[in-house]
């Protein structure tokens, strides 16, 4: 798709764009500190306050809800030495799936045992995170006492763990998750702080979730410091899950995993950048950074293709690209439209836990990933196209 201009400060790459999503993006783009413009990605869909699949540059202000409640959510992938033929010949894939499900806590309330947090690798990661929190000036335990047990847990919704193969048959280990409950609580607190400040200063907004924090205030830097810590937690969470996934796969294959290539990238985050002659905060809510040559990961929905890409550094997109397929149907609407039989048909040939809990994650509930990638042709270059062999999700 050729990029289109939807407003004075809004550019759109989505050929499939629901009207309420367009309206939401227009509202956000009209905030007075948006500069130079908001970039709407091909997977854009309705979100909380700001649109999921949007890149939001702001001058001396941050909208916490525009970063999202799953701070630092993103992807990690590792290219291995094996082929799909090797993996399928090693034994029943259900055995590998069950081993992964036992090693990595799944679902919204799934956390590690206390004993797991004392294992050497986990303990080292937690110590680093504790030191970073102290440097940031806050105690994660003030949000939740069990934050240490969340490291290495998946969550639910569209988070997943996959064994996939690229166009040459090479196997990649691939997963999607973020900062879990601790990141959500950090985000929710600062969204409330921003709303309270709007009320205190009699600032009227078109949407309360566009409440913002002004740079050089204590509230702004408190959010930035804690948000950066949550991003670090999300990165470490993915690294820990990948460590466990590699252990499970190695046991299944009978030899250690060769880590031939590794990519770990956020798609819910903010950071200072320079665009169009200005220093701005760029919040990517459901978008990845796509500077020229930067590797990235764009997953499809459950049962469809995913992509290993490199960025093209498109300046109009603020060096960004989509982060996935993007929902077309809400979870409630998907459950009304699709059945467990539809899901089984979509997942033919892929090992997964057969349950109606995943009906709202069926590929039909999402935009076609092929169309999303076609719309992103001037944003990224595809290096590898992955298809799923095995899929693990939380209820």
Active site residues: 323
Query: Do 326 and 52 form a contact (C-beta atoms < 8 A)?
Result: yes
Strands 10-12 and 4-7, how do they pair?
Answer: antiparallel
Q: Six-digit token pair at 83?
A: 């082929």
Strand-pairing partners, residue 170, are: 83
Nearest to 284 by CA among 29, 55, 65: 55
User: What's the rounded Cα separation, in Å, for the pair 59 and 62?
Assistant: 8
User: What's the rounded Cα separation, in Å, for the pair 384 and 223?
Assistant: 37
- Helix-strand-coil percent breakdown of the chain, rounded to 5? 40, 25, 35
User: What's the rounded Cα separation, in Å, for the pair 102 and 181?
Assistant: 20
Residues 6+ away with beta carbon under 8 Å from 62: 212, 213, 215, 220, 223, 224, 270, 281, 283
Cis peptide before 36 (omega within 30 of 0): yes
User: What's the rounded Cα separation, in Å, for the pair 174 and 359?
Assistant: 21
Query: Do 350 and 305 form a contact (C-beta atoms < 8 A)?
Result: no
Question: In the chain, what's the furthest Cα-to-Cα distance?
Answer: 66
Helix H or strand E encompassing 7: strand 4-7
Nearest to 176 by CA among 282, 293, 323, 369: 323
Q: What is the DSSP letter of 324?
A: S
User: What's the rounded Cα separation, in Å, for the pair 269 and 282?
Assistant: 8
User: What's the rounded Cα separation, in Å, for the pair 319 and 322?
Assistant: 11
């Amino acid at each position: 798709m050729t990029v289109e201009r939807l407003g004075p400060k809004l550019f759109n790459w989505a050929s499939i764009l629901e009207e309420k999503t367009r309206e939401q993006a227009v509202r956000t783009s009209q905030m007075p500190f948006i500069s130079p413009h908001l970039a709407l990605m091909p997977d854009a869909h309705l979100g909380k306050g700001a649109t999921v699949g949007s890149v939001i540059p702001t001058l001396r202000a941050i909208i916490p809800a525009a970063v999202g409640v799953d701070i630092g959510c993103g992807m990690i992938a590792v290219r291995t030495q094996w082929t799909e033929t090797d993996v399928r010949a090693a034994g029943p894939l259900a055995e590998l799936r069950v081993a992964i499900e036992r090693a990595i806590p799944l679902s919204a309330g799934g956390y590690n045992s206390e004993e797991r947090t004392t294992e050497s690798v986990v303990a080292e990661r937690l110590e680093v995170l504790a030191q970073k929190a102290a440097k940031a000036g806050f105690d994660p335990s003030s949000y939740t006492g069990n934050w240490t047990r969340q490291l290495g847990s998946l969550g639910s919704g569209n988070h997943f763990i996959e064994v996939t193969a690229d166009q040459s048959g090479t196997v990649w280990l691939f997963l999607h998750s973020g900062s879990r409950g601790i990141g959500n609580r950090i985000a929710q607190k600062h969204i409330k702080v921003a709303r309270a400040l709007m009320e205190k200063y009699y600032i009227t907004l078109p949407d309360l979730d566009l409440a913002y924090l002004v740079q050089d205030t204590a509230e702004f830097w408190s959010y930035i410091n804690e948000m950066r810590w949550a991003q670090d937690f999300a990165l470490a969470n993915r690294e820990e899950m990948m460590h466990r996934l590699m252990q499970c796969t190695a046991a299944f294959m009978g030899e250690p995993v060769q880590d031939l290539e590794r990519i770990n990238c956020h798609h819910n985050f903010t950071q200072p950048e320079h665009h169009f002659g200005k220093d701005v905060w760029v919040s990517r809510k459901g978008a990845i950074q796509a500077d020229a040559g930067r590797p990235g990961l764009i997953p499809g929905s459950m049962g469809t293709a995913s992509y290993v890409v490199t960025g093209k550094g498109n300046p109009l997109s603020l060096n960004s690209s989509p982060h996935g397929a993007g929902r077309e149907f809400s979870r409630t609407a998907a459950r009304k439209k699709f059945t467990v039989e539809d899901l089984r048909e979509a997942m033919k040939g892929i090992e997964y836990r057969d349950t109606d809990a995943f009906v709202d994650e069926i590929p039909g509930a999402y935009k076609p990933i092929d169309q999303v990638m076609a719309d992103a042709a001037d944003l990224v270059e595809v290096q590898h196209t992955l298809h799923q062999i095995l899929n693990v999700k939380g209820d």
